[in-house]
Amino acid sequence: MGFSHEKTTHHFLLLKDGGTIQVSANDPKDDTSRDHIRMHLSHVAEMFSAGNFNAPMFIHDTTPPGVPTMEKLHSEIHYRYLQTDTGGKIDIETTNPKALEAVHQFLRFQIAEHKTGDATELTNDAVKR
């Protein structure tokens, strides 16, 4: 990924219309981590938009749950990369119920793998954008 897990914080949020992948540098003055996060997430958003999910398979050494469906339905899932003050995020949106379930499976896997403590079920806070 090009950045330290000790110097950054990951969050994976489940939303009613998809979810969000967000990574931030822990130190707001850590421009190196911030820039690497931005480069990585912008690249991931481009890859996912094209139906290429090799990055999570390479990083986790397994095919995360949901990925086969996300690959198949990639044209029905929209990935939008946005910069944040300390890193970046990828907003994931879909109106396809099968794609939505796959996105949520994928995000739950990421929550467990990265031990983020993020909610694995939709909550009242998980509103549509």
Residue 3 lies in a domain: no
30 or 61, greater pLDDT: 30
Residue 127 lies in a domain: no
Q: Which range among 72-81, 89-98, 119-128 shows the weakest confidence by mean pLDDT?
A: 119-128
Residue 28 lies in a domain: yes
Domain count, the chain: 1
57 or 77, greater pLDDT: 77
Contact assessment for residue 84 and residue 22, using Cβ atoms and an 8 Å cutoff = yes
Q: Is the pLDDT of residue 73 over 90?
A: yes
At 108 the three-state DSSP class reads: helix
Contact assessment for residue 81 and residue 43, using Cβ atoms and an 8 Å cutoff = no
Mean pLDDT of 106-112: 96
What integer pLDDT is reported at residue 78 of this predicted model? 98
Residue 122 lies in a domain: no
Q: Which domain holds residue 27?
A: 8-114
